[in-house]
Amino acid sequence: MHAAYGVRKQSLFANHPDEIVEIGPGAGANFRYYRPGTHVIAIEPNPKMHARLRQRAVRHRLRVEIVAGGGESMPLENESTGAVVGTLVLCSVGDPGKVLAEAYRILRAGGPYIFLEHVAARGPSIAAMEQMILRRPWKALFAGCRIDQDALSLVEASPFDALAYEEFTLALNALPFSPHISGTAVK
């Protein structure tokens, strides 16, 4: 997915602080975009990903601290971090509103929640029809991913004060998850 998201992620993560909390990093796809020496607190519920996270952290010269568990209840202090990252995560968590509330809780004032998400296709369209038809098998095949999740409305309804985002579509328009948003929501 580096080819599809790489330039956008480089821009999103360009000015991150020295410590980042990343929700659902999976195997560490974002690690290549963080500055060497960055301390990443990885909130990753899948223990099968932990070894890969450690390997990627070594490869990209990051300090990683893995916290087993989900983003709905992070064992971190209030206002304890300068940035929270969530990419392609709101579609697969149990309670995305609670994840956003937790991100807000642990961020210091002025800190960004940095996101990149696929979103529900709007209105009557081929993409919306594909998402409707494929949502059940997609969820079963891709770790609970809801391709028709309205991530934009979730972020807009979250407690963040400032929201800046852009909508984009991948070059592969036939994919049911092609509508996307990326940006920041600041506490």
Q: What is the pLDDT of residues 59-83, one digit of tens each?
A: 999 999 999 999 999 999 999 999 9
Looking at the chain, the whole-number percentage of residues with pLDDT higher than 90 is 67
pLDDT, tens digit (0-9, with 9 covering 90-100), for 114-152 = 999 988 888 888 778 888 888 888 788 887 888 888 899
| Residue whose structure tokens are 């060497």 | 36
pTM across the whole model: 0.90
Alpha carbon distance 66, 183 (integer Å): 25
CA atoms within 13 Å, Cβ hemisphere of 122: 8
Nearest to 44 by CA among 23, 19, 65, 73: 23
Q: Which of 101, 91, 113, 95 is nearest to 163 (CA)?
A: 113
The per-residue pLDDT for 118 is 86
Helices vs. strands in the chain: H and E counts, helices first: 5, 7
Task: Answer yes or no: is pLDDT of 88 > 70.
Answer: yes
181 backbone φψ class: left, alpha, beta (φ>0; ψ -120 to 50): beta
- With bands split at pLDDT 50, 70 and 90, how would you rate the model's confidence at 47? very high
Collapsing DSSP to helix, strand or coil, 107 comes out as strand
- The answer to whether 52 and 74 are in contact (CB under 8 A) is no
CA nearest neighbour of 35 among 83, 97, 91, 105? 83
Report the run of H or E that residue 180 belongs to, with start and end: strand 179-186
**Cβ density class 60-86: b for 16+ within 10 Å, e for less:** bebebebeeebbbebebeeeebbbbbb
- The owner of tokens 């070894």 is 51
Q: Which residues partner with 43 through β-bridges?
A: 23, 67
